[in-house]
A and B are shown apart, each in its own frame.
Chain A
Amino acid sequence: MAKDVQPLNLYTKSVGVKVLLSLFSGFMLLLIVGPLLWLAIHAFATEWLFPSYKPKGWTLDWFRKVFEVPTLVDAMKTSLIISPIVVLLSAVICLPAAYASARYNYWGRKSFLIIMFASNAFPKIGLFATIATLYYFLNLMGTLVGVIIIQVLGTIIFMTWIPAAAFAAVPKSLEEAARDAGAGKFRVFRTITLKMAMPGILVAMVMSFIYAFDEAQGTFLIGAPTIYTMPTAMYAIVETYPIQVTAVFSILLTIPSVLLIGLARKHIIGGQLAEGFQIK
């Protein structure tokens, strides 16, 4: 019976509430989209002086300028090379663990997830400061490997928790039914378990990519001054270049996240992310 799609007869239909909600929406729109739009428009402005609502003129020249600065182009290249490596490395390290924890007994799984969580509770910036000691010893300061490790650390929580929940949500009976139908262990994992957990893994990969792509604090501390990614380059250019250049760079930096989240939007909003953060 279509009981669940029947709406609740709870809310008020009063006009006052509607007006209030519309006002709130307007406020949120200004609060959230306002700053982004404000910055983005600068990318196309020749010059923009306070207190004018619009710039003096329009231009696409700033896009060309950004690609003429070698350090910025290098940063883009570095970012685009490092982030996929980080995601893959993190997946290789974490996915088996995520699967195992999903099929463990209750206490084993709990302690595992809590260790993950505890490592996340230490302030990132403090961690990066402490890690320097080890990095000096291992000669990882200012190296690509060092930056990759720093970024992998932050992705581990996404790569274990979200897939673990996704794996746990695959009913054991489905695996057993496939075994019963004559499929081997590996085949069952590949065709049933992995397939059904794929949305969760996808979300984990997207979140990891975004984290790696956006990570600035650790990368700056470890990589600078030899290695710059797009976000750490951003730190540098906000002080030396006109705002229009930073605006262009911001737009470029946002494109991958928007594309990827757009891709996985259904699953992220569908609860895969939220599911991952509950210890079950």
Chain B
Amino acid sequence: MALPPILVLGTFIGFPIGLAFLFSIGFTGGLNEVLSIIGQDVRGRDGKLFTLQAYKDVIADPRFAGDVKTTLIVSFVATVFVLLFSTGIGLLQRLRGGKLSSVLTALSLTPLFIPVVISSWALYTFYGSAGLYRTIFHSFGIDVPQITSTMLAVIIGSIWVSLPFATLMITSGLQSVPNALIEAAQDAGASLITIIRTVMLPLALIPIIIALTFTSIGILGSFTVPFFLGANQPTMFGVEITNFFSVYNRPQQSIVMAFIVFAAASGIAFFYIWANFRNAKESGRV
């Protein structure tokens, strides 16, 4: 019964990715032929079966260094802030409860209701040249530049979009820490900070790691947010992959970049799987 989804994924994800990988190392025949004829700068057309030239092209491209830097900085900073916010809100909800924390939770879940295209566009208008952000400063007599088309806007947008999932994960993880385990630490003489550090966060570690991996992988490959909010150059890989594919018509380089992002995402994914297995081991399920 597990076959249908695996078949679908195999046909429409596994197979194309395999094909694309072959394409990226210079296999231009078979199903790859159409792309290699349409596309520009395709390496391996000379009949060589294996070449890393396309990878070298991408790395040598002057845009590459800037894109790497932008992608890494945005992913890292946004993920850190998402985790800080969602953990903070989760802790507040768990330890204090009350109206304020409910309001905060509701707020951080709001983006879940909003399609990413809309939120990106809304953020664009808000932080753009005629947006409320500049209007507020203007009424104090300060003329600030617009934030849109900068890395800061992409970071704000990424946080905005990623917050609900992380909050759901972490809040639910912290909620499931039993009162008695917290009180036992309190009884043992631990302060609030110590309890959070040594009992609550370790017990919610798995949900936190899940939030971490999904958030960072999501941001790493994101397109819509940097497309609307980022600068044209340098930009994040999600945008650059699209540019290379449809604007510059260099499909091979576009695919090479996809594999670079995939490699990074796999590293993070490995962390997630490791954490899950360690957890299973601890609770005696293996």
Residues of A within 8 A of B (CB): 3-4, 6-12, 21-22, 24-25, 28-29, 31-36, 38-39, 42, 48-53, 92-94, 96-97, 99-101, 104, 106, 112, 114-127, 129-134, 136-137, 149, 152-153, 156, 159-160, 210, 213-214, 216-217, 221, 231, 234-235, 238, 243, 246, 250, 253-254, 257-258, 261, 268-269, 271, 273-275, 277-280
Contact = CB atoms under 8 A, between A and B. Distances in A.
A176 to B, nearest CB: 20
Contacts of A253: 115, 117-118
Nearest to A122: B262
Given A8-B179, A121-B269, A32 B207 contact: no
Nearest to B18: A130
Closest 10 CB pairs of A and B: A126-B258, A123-B221, A130-B20, A274-B172, A35-B126, A100-B1, A214-B115, A50-B130, A39-B122, A51-B138
Contacts, number: 281
Contacts of B55: none
A126 B114 contact: no
B5 A97 contact: yes
Given A50-B135, A137-B34, A274-B172, A126 B261 contact: yes
Q: Which of A9, A99, A104, A123 has the most CB of B within 10 A?
A: A123
Interface stretch (B43-51, B58-66, B90-98): B90-98
Which applies to chain A's interface (DSSP): helix, strand, loop or mixed?
A: helix
A125 B207 CA distance: 26
Interface string B97-114: 100100111011111111
A100 B266 CA distance: 26
B241 A234 contact: no
Nearest to B3: A97
A29 B121 contact: no
- Counting chain B CB atoms within 10 Å of each CB, the highest count among A6, A35, A49 belongs to A35
- Residue of A6, A34, A52 contacting most chain B CB atoms (<10 Å): A34
Given A121-B269, A278-B210, 12 more contacts: A22-B100, A33-B107, A51-B139, A123-B261, A130-B16, A216-B115, A217-B223, A221-B245, A234-B117, A238-B121, A261-B113, A279-B273
The contact size tier of chain B is 35 or more
Name, among B4, B115, B135, the residue most crowded by chain A CB atoms within 10 Å (CB to CB). B115
A82 B93 CA distance: 39
Contacts of A153: 8-9, 12-13
A21 B192 contact: no
Most central of B100, B111, B171, B258 by chain A CB within 10 Å: B258
A263 to B, nearest CB: 12
Interface in B154-191: 156, 160, 163, 168-169, 171-173, 175-176, 179, 182-183, 186
A278 B210 CA distance: 8
Contacts of B95: 8, 10-11
A280 B179 CA distance: 23
A274 to B, nearest CB: 4
A52 B134 CA distance: 10
B179 A38 contact: no
Contacts of B247: none
B172 to A, nearest CB: 4
Contacts of A33: 107, 110
Contact of B4 (A29, A96, A136, A279): A96
Contacts of A96: 1, 4
A253 to B, nearest CB: 6
Nearest to A108: B2
Nearest to B276: A279
Interface in B1-31: 1-6, 8-9, 12-17, 19-20, 23, 31
Contacts of A51: 130, 134-135, 138-139
Contacts of A137: 31, 34
